[in-house]
Structure 1
Amino acid sequence: MQFVNSFNFLPFLDSIISFSAAFVFGTVIGVERQYRQRTAGLRTVVLVTLGAAGFVDLAHRLAGSVEAVRVIAYVVSGIGFLGAGVIMKEGLNVRGLNTAATLWCAAAVGACAGTDMIAEAGLLTLFVLVANTMLRPLVNAINRIPINEEQGEATYEVRVTAMRRHVPEVRAFLLEALEAAEYPVGNIALVAMGEERAEIVATLISTAVVPDEINAVITTLKTNAHVLHASWESSLQD
């Protein structure tokens, strides 16, 4: 029997320690995910941690540290595909990024355990827990801070509605008003609004504006007899 010939108690004991550490640390991370009812809960996180530890330990046992490093690279790629499975897009919102990142960190914990770096695996587990729990109040506090339009980086658009037959002159008037306010236009588009009306959308090059200045431009645009409606809006850049 090959098992009898190849079995060595000390390396086997070493694997027991590595797998046990991966199981414990994965459980610690997974409990927090399960408590928050995330897509990847306790069992998923533990299995990712154990799987990473198992592959790395196997490579280390068979071919040494050089092959273990190569396997770790494959583990990182594999977890990337697994993490993509928990990311969901709902309209303009994307959910699951934090869970995917947690799985990625769980694999790193397992890889540390598989290479017998138990203390490092424990330290990484502690930091993952801090990131998922203690940073949450800080994130909520930051999200409650109103965005300063003058300092935030965003995309700004000026929208003007006019009859289609008056679009050329209104377009020229819009460009002239923005140029006078020193807000150069990066792109201008025409959006059909029924058979007779059209909307001119001017995207500004500036990533920060002074609201009072843009409001003054809108007021100027509304003085044109051919302008049916004028407004501006901003959207945050990723």
Structure 2
Amino acid sequence: MNTILGQNEINLLINLILSLFAGFIIGSERESRGKDAGISTHSFVITGAMLFTFLSSVVDPMSTSRIAAQIVSGIGFLGAGLILKEGSNVRNLTTAASIWYAGAIGMAFGFNYRLIGIMATIAAALIPKIPHINKKNPEL
């Protein structure tokens, strides 16, 4: 009996849905703060990392670490392009970090570690809610 969707396709579909949902959750928080990298960017990064990871694990399960290393460096390059330094002020550092973190979430989904990806997405939604400590006034 031939089926249209095999186990790989079902896993890919589930991972795709989870990746898009995670990108929406993280990206909507960044957009709500007026940042350039929002829903689309985070969805692309998470989904792209998931696809590269998933495909590498299906095509050549013995060499997934090579693809993973390239994902990390490629996303680091994207994040570096977001960071702006004006005098002593640094802008978009948190957005760059969220892009890098999003890649890790995509890789978790790509390796079918769905619970880790979901927990990391929840953490990403909670991290921006942590109160900031005034770094310019060490007495606080």
* TM-score normalised by L of structure 1: 0.54
- 2:13 aligned with 1:16, yes or no? yes
Partner amino acid for 2:89?
Answer: N
Matches of 1:8 and 1:41, distance apart in 2: 32
* Structure 2 residues not aligned, in runs of 5+: none
Partner amino acid for 1:113?
Answer: F
On the 8 A contact 1:57/1:68 being kept in 2, the answer is no
- 2:32 aligned with 1:35, yes or no? yes
Partner amino acid for 1:100?
Answer: A
Residue 85 of structure 2 aligns to a residue in which SS?
Answer: strand
- 2:89 aligned with 1:96, yes or no? no
The match for 1:128 among 109, 113, 124 is 124
Partner amino acid for 2:134?
Answer: N
Measured on the aligned residues, the alpha-carbon RMSD in Å equals 1.7
Q: Which has the higher strand share?
A: 1
- 2:134 aligned with 1:143, yes or no? yes
Matches of 2:113 and 2:64, distance apart in 1: 13
**Number of matched pairs:** 136
The match for 1:111 among 86, 107, 111 is 107
On the 8 A contact 1:59/1:68 being kept in 2, the answer is yes
The 5 A counterparts of 1:74-89 are 74-89=70-85
Matches of 1:12 and 1:114, distance apart in 2: 12
Matches of 2:112 and 2:16, distance apart in 1: 10
Shift of 1:23: 1.0
Matches of 2:88 and 2:136, distance apart in 1: 21
The 5 A counterparts of 1:1-238 are 9-64=6-61, 66-132=62-128, 134-135=129-130, 138-139=131-132, 142-143=133-134, 146-148=137-139
Percentage of identical aligned residues = 34
Shift of 1:20: 1.3
Q: Which has the higher helix share?
A: 2
* TM-score normalised by L of structure 2: 0.90
Shift of 1:8: 6.1
Using the TM superposition, name which of 7-16 and 98-107 deviates more.
Answer: 7-16
Using the TM superposition, name which of 70-79 and 7-16 deviates more.
Answer: 7-16
Matches of 1:102 and 1:74, distance apart in 2: 18
Shift of 1:69: 2.4
* Structure 1 residues not aligned, in runs of 5+: 1-6, 149-238
